[in-house]
Amino acid sequence: MGTTPVSAGGLSSIPALLSRNSKEFANSPAYREKEFGIWQGWTWAETQTEIEALALGLIDLGLNEGDFVAVIGRNRPRLYWSMMAAQMCGAIPVPLYQDASAEEMAYTLGHCGARFVIVGDQEQVDKVIEVQADLPLFEQMIYLDPRGLRKYDHSKLHQYSHVQDAGRSKADALRPEVERRIAKLDYDSICVMLYTSGTTGKPKGVVLSNRNVIETSKSSSEFDDLRQSDDILAYLPMAWVGDFIFSVGQAVWTGFCTNCPENAETMHVDLREIGPTYYFAPPRVFETQLTNVMIRMEDAGKLKQRMFHYFMEHARKVGAGILDGKSTGLVDRAKYALGELMVYGPLKNTLGFSRVRVGYTAGEAIGPEIFDFYRSLGINLKQLYGQTEATVFITAQPDGEVRSDTVGVQCPGVELKIADNGEVFYRSPGVFVEYYKNAESTADTKDVEGWVATGDAGFIEPDTGHLRIIDRAKDVGKMADGSLFAPKYVENKLKFFPNILEAVVFGNGRTECAAFINIDLTAVGNWAERNNIGYASYQELAQHPQVLATIKAHVEDVNRSVAEDEMLSGCQVHRFVVLHKELDADDGELTRTRKVRRRIIEEKYADIITALYDGSSDVSTTTEVTYEDGRKGSISATLKMCDAAVSSVSSRMAAE
Amino acid sequence: MLDQTEGYMTADGRQIGPVVMEMKNITLRFGGVEAIRDISFDIREGEIRAIIGPNGAGKSSMLNVISGFYVPQEGQVFYKGQPRPQMKPFEVARQGIARTFQNIALFEGMSVLDNVMTGRLTHMKTGLFTQALWRGKAEAEETKNREVAEKIIDFLEIQAIRKTPVARLPYGLKKRVELARALVAEPSLLLLDEPMAGMNVEEKEDMSRFILDVNDEFGTTIALIEHDMGVVMDLSDRVVVMDYGKKIGDGTPDEVRGNQAVIDAYLGVAHD
């Protein structure tokens, strides 16, 4: 690879791009945040001044080049600025998950040896103080919101605005030092370190260089024609690589505006108010929104219901085609336009999607019905495939080639290859530098030629060149009869039903598959309310005979669909159990990005798995749960094992 | 005993000021029923003062005496050193006293924001005519009031329900909205009538944190009634314990916890 220390325009670091924006887009909005009920905004020029003041203050506090600065909190402009201020000082920002427990935080803070920690509020301050005894390198903490912190010992604790004030007052003395440090940044300097969520084992610190971030931001912005006038809503965890690329990388590259919601609960209201033009959400968010729309429609008047269903049916027929620019009959077009006026337009407005030009979903497979619903409304929702190690982008769907079952073609600059065992490998300018303090894992993941193993099994469709992902490579196994076992494939099909929130399929090395299922309390609860079914608790609802019957019907539907795929027909679910508690990241069953941790679930619920396979009709079990504040409790329940009919490949017709 | 004018230091290092409100030998009767019998205690500036007792002990009656809603037949209430005359509710509010109610008294059909804004009533100076004209003075006043309301909405973390009609909210949130309405009046004395009643553990913890934060952030003196002992003991600086209209204990949570009369009132006495 031809590596130059400086990019074409001399813009080889985030601070350099920031400085360009403060001149070129001086009066355009850079960041907005809703506070006290009003959207407060900062232009690029103001943003530059704010960040510089903080950088000066950080140097005044003794921040050195090469130090790690942990940033913890919800999406707020000042925390994004903290990351950029750290870069100005030659330090490395490390955003961490704000909902991580103190213990998890202790690990990451200790691993990177952060000297400075910048946090949102008292909750984070308390967490860091709780674990600071284990952090010999930790020195200073800076917080944004002073509420409740007045009586704290302020020898190592500083208010954000005070740090900025100190920086401003000493600007003349310290500015040369900041300028010197900024000038030293080049394309190979470290831009950011992000911790992976850790589906297995401890989180790993992925080191990304300016090259990784800027090259990726540049090519992805061009791929989707992102513009300076775009608006995004920053609401996904700051510790997640996607948020860093959207709200920092692409934002400084194209100069678009990043909008931060008032708090997590107001996200949907803020989404409507901002009406982003470029939007990203994991499938779960789209699912929840669709479920809400459907529930609300059931409460609507008869006329509205009929209108909704009439036009939605038409949209399903022609909407996606119109979006892709396919030729559509004049009558259909006219009817679609009427639908836009009566249903689609108002609905998009309610959802906050009126202005969306480019929308992405990734992280998990999205249900085809859900995906098609949004596309048929005229929302350009696409899928992308990526990971932290690639600085997000590996493949994405170009406009006009969007399907729910592929993740698109390789992004500009990315090369793909499929190994013999089906694992997907890639090489790109976005490929990470290393896992911090973990040369062994770095070598396992990235070979000398720069090829990175994704850990996912997939294949490239010969005629379209689109990549299709089947499952995590390490989860793909063999059934006892030697046929392929791909749990995720089946789980995704199960999760596409609104009633099913989460599913875990077992069967590796066994003769048949069995599954754990979590009901979706919103959808099932609403159904129970409509049908006058009383329940006292989640457990009771989950074990209600009618709920079990509904889930059984869903499982059998999935079995029919799985049977159609010859390669995977062995993965049909023979027996299942509806769990008495939701799988939860606080209990270690899911990662913070809500991915299933199979090994832990297998160990924790060994008794239930045994019952699924030994033919028992039910099992009594007690499960330990962790509450949000870290206290532990337990839930006991008797769970019924349910059988589901399976379809055989050859006698599929007969089975029906 | 402490002097009227001097303060004391709490266990967590807060400075408590002189007496702001003093009850002297209060007796309150409803016809033949004696709800409160000869009770005396004081509330000091900056402290969290709790009144506890079993059901029917006369706690709510006591709070109503403090708020000026009930006028006791005997005894006197001193507020900031002055004996308090009989007053109308709005006069009480103007003195800087705000309260919440045990059985929530919000305007159900109005949004949370509108409900909270009603708490600013005592701070509105413009007349009907100016309000009708709107532009100028009235507008500036509304902006100012909205600003205060928004700060409190932020403080109590109810931004997400700002525009939601109160009738649609769950009980725990309604309680928080009521607290917000009391707080926007910027009271110097805040009276809370069973702020945790009917709440689950998590809601109780949230509410406790808000009460402590209000006291800490705004320096508001708080008098609260509660029958959840655990919460009260964690929260308050000094506690008055009532039973059958009489005061049976008064002191710090630790003192009260060790008081035999209090233990008997709560756990009952063995009859032999």
Question: In which band, very low, low, confident or very high, does the pLDDT at A310 lie, cut at 50, 70 and 90?
Answer: very high
Q: Do A148 and B162 touch (CB under 8 A)?
A: no
Is residue A654 pLDDT above 50, yes or no? no
User: What pLDDT score does B2 carry?
Assistant: 58
Q: How close B269 comes to chain A (CA, Å)?
A: 34
Percent of chain A at pLDDT > 70 equals: 97
Closest partner residue to A266 among B150, B160, B202, by Cβ? Answer: B160
Closest partner residue to A36 among B151, B163, B217, by Cβ? Answer: B151
Closest partner residue to B160 among A38, A148, A265, by Cβ? Answer: A265
Which chain B positions have a beta carbon within 8 Å of A269's beta carbon? 160, 163
Closest partner residue to A36 among B12, B150, B205, by Cβ? Answer: B150
Is residue A605 pLDDT above 80, yes or no? yes
User: What pLDDT score does A200 carry?
Assistant: 60
Beta bridge partners, A393, equal A386
Of A57 and A295, which is predicted with more confidence? A57
**Hey, what amino acid is at A292?**
N
For A264, name the nearest residue in chain B, comparing CA atoms only: B160
User: What pLDDT score does A41 carry?
Assistant: 96
Beta bridge partners, A573, equal A513
A448: burial class by Cβ within 10 Å (0-12, 13-18, 19+)? exposed
Q: How close A282 comes to chain B (CA, Å)?
A: 22
The pair of structure tokens assigned to A509 is 């090395």
Q: How close B127 comes to chain A (CA, Å)?
A: 27
Which H or E element spans position A25? none
- Give the pLDDT mean for A307-336: 91
- Give the pLDDT mean for A9-38: 93
Question: In which band, very low, low, confident or very high, does the pLDDT at B239 lie, cut at 50, 70 and 90?
Answer: very high
Of A173 and A328, which is predicted with more confidence? A173
Which chain A positions have a beta carbon within 8 Å of B151's beta carbon? 36
Interface of B with A in 215-244 (CB under 8 A): 216-217
B156-173 pLDDT, tens digit per residue, is: 999 999 999 999 998 889
- Give the pLDDT mean for B40-56: 90
**Contact indicator for A501, A581 with CB cutoff of 8 Å:** no
- Give the pLDDT mean for A595-599: 86
| B48: Cβ contacts below 8 Å, ≥ 6 apart | B211, B212, B215, B222, B224, B235, B236, B237
B15: contact with A, CB 8 A cutoff: no
The single residue listed with the structure tokens 């013999």 is A420
B25: contact with A, CB 8 A cutoff: no
For B149, name the nearest residue in chain A, comparing CA atoms only: A36
Q: Do B146 and A37 touch (CB under 8 A)?
A: yes
Which chain B positions have a beta carbon within 8 Å of A35's beta carbon? 154
Q: How far apart are CA A621 and CA A269, in angstroms?
A: 41
Helix A102-112 to helix A122-131 angle, to the nearest 10 degrees?
Answer: 70
Q: Do B159 and A263 touch (CB under 8 A)?
A: yes
Question: In which band, very low, low, confident or very high, does the pLDDT at A104 lie, cut at 50, 70 and 90?
Answer: confident
Q: How close B193 comes to chain A (CA, Å)?
A: 24
- Would you say domain A477-655 falls under CATH 3.30.300.30? yes
Is residue A114 pLDDT above 70, yes or no? yes
Which chain B positions have a beta carbon within 8 Å of A629's beta carbon? 205
B160: contact with A, CB 8 A cutoff: yes
User: What pLDDT score does A628 carry?
Assistant: 72
The pair of structure tokens assigned to A357 is 């030009």
Closest partner residue to B159 among A147, A266, A629, by Cβ? Answer: A266
**Hey, what amino acid is at A474?**
K
ipTM entry? 0.79
Which chain A positions have a beta carbon within 8 Å of B217's beta carbon? 147-148, 150
Q: List the single range of A37-51, A440-454, A462-476, B204-218 with lowest mean pLDDT.
A: A462-476
Is residue B9 pLDDT above 50, yes or no? yes
- Give the pLDDT mean for B63-71: 89
Show the domains of chain B with their CATH numbers. 1-96+187-272 (3.40.50.300), 108-186 (no CATH)
Question: In which band, very low, low, confident or very high, does the pLDDT at A5 lie, cut at 50, 70 and 90?
Answer: very low
Is residue B205 pLDDT above 70, yes or no? yes
pTM summary value: 0.83
**Hey, what amino acid is at A446?**
K
| A14: Cβ contacts below 8 Å, ≥ 6 apart | A84, A87, A191, A210, A213, A214, A248, A249, A252
Which H or E element spans position A202? none
Of B233 and A181, which is predicted with more confidence? A181
Instruction: State chain B's mean pLDDT as an integer.
Output: 87
Q: How far apart are CA A424 and CA A455, in angstroms?
A: 7
A458-478 pLDDT, tens digit per residue, is: 889 888 899 988 888 888 888
- Topology of domain A15-280 in CATH is Rossmann fold (3.40.50)
Question: In which band, very low, low, confident or very high, does the pLDDT at A2 lie, cut at 50, 70 and 90?
Answer: very low
Chain A residues touching chain B at CB-CB below 8 Å: 35-38, 147-148, 150-151, 262-263, 265-266, 269, 628-629
Per-range mean pLDDT, top range of A43-52, A195-204, B155-164: A43-52
Is residue B272 pLDDT above 70, yes or no? no
Q: How close A73 comes to chain B (CA, Å)?
A: 16
Which chain A positions have a beta carbon within 8 Å of B211's beta carbon? none
For A148, name the nearest residue in chain B, comparing CA atoms only: B213
Is residue B153 pLDDT above 70, yes or no? yes
The pair of structure tokens assigned to A11 is 């813009």
User: What pLDDT score does A651 carry?
Assistant: 42
How do the domains of chain A map onto residue ranges?
15-280, 477-655
Q: Degrees (nearest 5) of the Cα angle A398, A404, A409?
A: 35
Q: List the single range of A350-359, B15-24, B262-271 with lowest mean pLDDT.
A: B262-271
**Contact indicator for A571, A505 with CB cutoff of 8 Å:** yes
Tell me the count of A-B CB pairs closer than 8 A: 36
User: Buried (b) or exposed (e) across B128-148, using 16+ Cβ within 10 A?
Assistant: eeeeeeeeeebeebbeebbeb
User: What pLDDT score does A557 carry?
Assistant: 92
Closest partner residue to A150 among B150, B155, B216, by Cβ? Answer: B216
Which chain B positions have a beta carbon within 8 Å of A38's beta carbon? 150
Q: How close B164 comes to chain A (CA, Å)?
A: 11
**Contact indicator for A474, A421 with CB cutoff of 8 Å:** no
Beta bridge partners, A278, equal A358
User: How does DSSP assign A443-489, residue by residue?
Assistant: HHHB-TT--EEEEEEEEE-TTT--EEEEEETTT-EE-TTS-EE-HHH
B144: contact with A, CB 8 A cutoff: no
| Residue B39 per-residue DSSP state | E
A213-236 pLDDT, tens digit per residue, is: 999 999 999 999 999 999 999 999
Q: How far apart are CA A92 and CA A191, in angstroms?
A: 6
Instruction: State chain A's mean pLDDT as an integer.
Output: 90
